[in-house]
A and B are shown apart, each in its own frame.
Chain A
Amino acid sequence: MLTPTICRMEVEAPRLAAAAQPGQFLIVRADEKGERIPLTISDFDVKRGTVTIVTQKIGASSSDIIAYEPGEAFADVVGPLGLPSEFVSMAPEKLSQQRYILIAGGVGTAPVYPQAKWLKEHGVPVDVIIGAKTKDLLIYVEEMRGVCDNLFVCTDDGSEGFHGMGTNMLEHVVSEGHQYTQAVIIGPMIMMKFTTLTCKKLGIPAIVSLNSLMVDGTGMCGACRVSVGGKTRFACVEGPEFDGYEVDFDLAMRRQGQYKAEEAEANEKHVCKIGRGK
């Protein structure tokens, strides 16, 4: 457990680990009766044949996932899904001119890690902002320090690092003279919306990673459809990363909450398996 509600797991899935790239996600199903849950990949190790996922307790199905102990197996793990981050296929001469700022919010810090790692390994200048509500919800701070040039930590309540939100931190960092050609923002939808607005103000292009609702993750159901530049796109196969300037965040947020009523009902009925003694 990284925090009382956020959990990190290393999952054995050799084929998936060999194919995974930064920016991609996977789908797990805890057991026969659980949902298919999309989770971003926070690390992958081809040699060990494993992928790392980080998940936060939200609904009944995700609390079942957190209840797993080392050595247990999920019913299903499938991936990698979605397109890799843009920089993975960028021409080297273009890549060498980039200066990245990766802005992570809460549990979104985990998928930022493999992106920073990839950029660092490829010699691309990369700074990272990690923001969280409070000190106890900060994750991956030490790991991240090793894979970026400058790490900036902020908390909404000031309990650690800079006192303020990711948007304030970004403005502060830029005002101190740091310059960036590209921002990547990963976190809750509302955080991505406002951080994109700040990027716009500062003239930094912004890519966001949309964690839409999904069933299959292969383009079959269309639950993940989002509006980007006025066009309907499927986050699962055409994303999850899109140009933040073009994303209709208000629509995305409404669509994300589509099953809230049903989920609240399920949570009430659900017998939590945490601490089930196995």
Chain B
Amino acid sequence: MANKIPRVPVREQDPKVRATNFDEVCYGYNKEEALLEASRCLNCKNPRCMTACPVGLQIPRFIAELAVGNIEGAAAVIAEDSSLPAVCGRVCPQETQCEGSCILGVKGEPVAIGKLERFVADYTRMGDAAGSASEPVRDSEYPAIPLEGVQEVKTPSPGAKRVAVIGSGPAGLACASDLAKWGYDVTIFEALHKAGGVLEYGIPEFRLPKDKVLRHEVDAVRELGVKIETNVIVGRTITIDSLMDKEGFQAVFIGTGAGLPKFMNIPGENLCGVFSANEFLTRNNLMKAWREDYLTPIHAGKKVCVVGGGNVAMDAARTALRLGAEVHIVYRRTEAELPARREEVHHAIEEGIIFDMLTNPVEVIGDERGWVKALKCIKMELGEPDESGRRSPVPIEGSEFEIPTETVIMALGTSPNPLISRTTQGLDTNKRGCLVANEEGATTRPGVFAGGDAVTGAATVILAMGAGRTAAKAIDAYLKQ
């Protein structure tokens, strides 16, 4: 009986060891493990997993191919719907999507869909080495502009309609891939010097290896014929108006994400040693501060407090830990309400991150040199549920106390960057600064579409990819009019 086999555990780096390095935490399945796990899938007639996937990945179909050992076939099924399987297999919140809907999960453990997706992608890229203890990537260098590593590049047919995609994160890559597959001439404009958006600057190496995994998936998008121009800031270097009026783009997709960090607006927040998680992670991920051979400075110190409870907070905390600090997560609700992916919380606890729950900062206290010396917090208790259904935290009067710390990292969420909306005529935003777009991704300006965090506010990689694909369909329909 297929469902009598327990879920195949995945091998991981020992927590004590990995707390001191930036190599990937999870090794992933090898072929034997993957085939065994694939055999657990019941191949349901009404696959709830597929409905729960924001990109509609044909999950039972790819797992069925994998179960019979046809890994190439499985990869082809995945490629129909996703250009970033090695990424999604690693960073999706499977427990609330595909795996959360798996029928096997009702009584036992759901099929490890994420790990299987990751295996198919890893095997396609590295063959039998997939699932083996990863060789640390140390000295490989990947130039941002040349098409190195790209195999055959498909070229769009002459006269193909041109689409500009702004932002090379998950939304932009997904949108560009679909449009290129359908024969459009697509150029992605990226503000930073490397493509990938949040996958490059936000998610750390130990969760998503850059050279080994991300570069490969970005190259796969380029192989479809998508051009990527880095170092172009739409809203500064060029505008949407100039792209459409002067450079001959007939449609534009805005996938610029939510990149503006939020602060708490408490006293002492501008002291030296208080950073946004964005700054801390960008220095470490995009600018590779963790590597001795890069010039980027980063400051963690001996003790770090990370404020917030989402994936970004976990990433910042685990990064600071690897840089040698004792790390506290300061969160105003309880562990049950942490919005981070389960696996990240679990990994963080295993690695020795200290969780200070029901604790809310009220002030950052500095020393005479203007550097952080402590974080003053107040104890909280859970009150009545708020509109999100979560019980809202209420401060306990008189319970203020200080946590001595050298560094404070604010991981309170992000909001969309207003650079584009402020420099483009006829593009409406709502009061949270998000672009206004309909279900198909059409904005208030004809020919301009948007999707991902730029529209919804900060969410997940896979929701952004789903929005990118939806908008690609709408762009196709618009250009065929």
Contact = CB atoms under 8 A, between A and B. Distances in A.
Interface of A: 15-16, 19, 29, 32-36, 59-61, 64, 75-81, 215-216, 218-223, 225-227, 232, 237, 251, 254-255, 257-259, 261-263, 266, 270
Contacts of A64: 295
B206 interface: no
A59 B297 CA distance: 11
A223 B298 CA distance: 12
B237 A16 contact: yes
Interface residue SS majority, chain B: loop
Residue of B192, B265, B299 ringed by the most chain A CB atoms within 10 A: B192
A227 B418 CA distance: 20
Contact of B297 (A32, A77, A263): A263
A82 B182 CA distance: 38
A64 B201 CA distance: 24
B370 interface: yes
Nearest to A59: B295
Interface in B350-366: none
A255 B274 CA distance: 10
Contacts, number: 117
Interface in B267-284: 269-270, 272-273, 275-276, 278-279, 282-283
B295 A33 contact: yes
B260 interface: yes
Contacts of A266: 295, 297
A3 B369 CA distance: 34
A266 to B, nearest CB: 6
B282 A237 contact: no
Contacts of A16: 237
Given A218-B233, A220-B260, A255-B270, A32 B141 contact: yes
Interface in B245-294: 259-261, 263, 265, 269-270, 272-273, 275-276, 278-279, 282-283, 287-288, 293-294
B144 A220 contact: no
A16 B232 CA distance: 9
Given A15-B232, A19-B237, A259-B299, 10 more contacts: A29-B193, A64-B295, A78-B191, A218-B191, A219-B417, A219-B419, A220-B201, A222-B261, A266-B297, A270-B295
Contact of B236 (A81, A232, A255, A263): A81
> What range describes how many residues of B lie at the interface?
35 or more
A81 B296 CA distance: 21
25 contacts: A19-B236, A33-B288, A36-B287, A59-B295, A75-B193, A76-B144, A78-B232, A79-B233, A215-B282, A216-B191, A218-B236, A218-B259, A218-B417, A219-B259, A219-B417, A220-B201, A221-B261, A222-B261, A227-B270, A232-B265, A251-B370, A257-B272, A258-B273, A259-B299, A262-B298
Contact of A262 (B265, B275, B297, B370): B297
A36 B231 CA distance: 12
Contact of B238 (A19, A34, A61, A232): A19
B158 interface: no
A222 B278 contact: yes
Contacts of A76: 144, 193, 230-231
A226 B269 CA distance: 11
A275 B298 CA distance: 29
Contacts of B297: 35, 259, 262-263, 266
Interface of B: 141, 143-144, 191-193, 201, 230-233, 236-238, 259-261, 263, 265, 269-270, 272-273, 275-276, 278-279, 282-283, 287-288, 293-299, 369-370, 417-419
A255 B231 CA distance: 26
B195 to A, nearest CB: 13
Contacts of B272: 254-255, 257-258
Contacts of B144: 32, 75-76
B143 A61 contact: no
Nearest 9 A-B pairs (CB), nearest first? Answer: A262-B297, A221-B279, A78-B231, A259-B297, A254-B370, A222-B276, A76-B193, A220-B259, A33-B294
Contact of B279 (A15, A222, A232): A222
Nearest to A266: B295
Nearest to B231: A78
Given A35-B296, A77-B231, A232 B270 contact: yes
A33 to B, nearest CB: 5
Contacts of B192: 216
Contacts of B265: 232
B299 A262 contact: yes
A237 B231 contact: no
Contacts of A227: 270
Contacts of A255: 270, 272
B282 A221 contact: yes
B443 to A, nearest CB: 20
Contact of A237 (B263, B296, B419): B419
A73 B325 CA distance: 38
B294 A15 contact: no
A232 B231 CA distance: 27
Contacts of B287: 35-36, 215
A159 to B, nearest CB: 35
B260 A216 contact: no
Contacts of B231: 76-78
A60 B295 CA distance: 7
B481 to A, nearest CB: 30
Contacts of B279: 215, 221-223
A36 B193 contact: yes
B283 A215 contact: yes
A79 B232 CA distance: 7
B282 A216 contact: yes
A33 B231 CA distance: 16
A263 B263 CA distance: 26
Given A221-B279, A258-B299, A15 B238 contact: yes
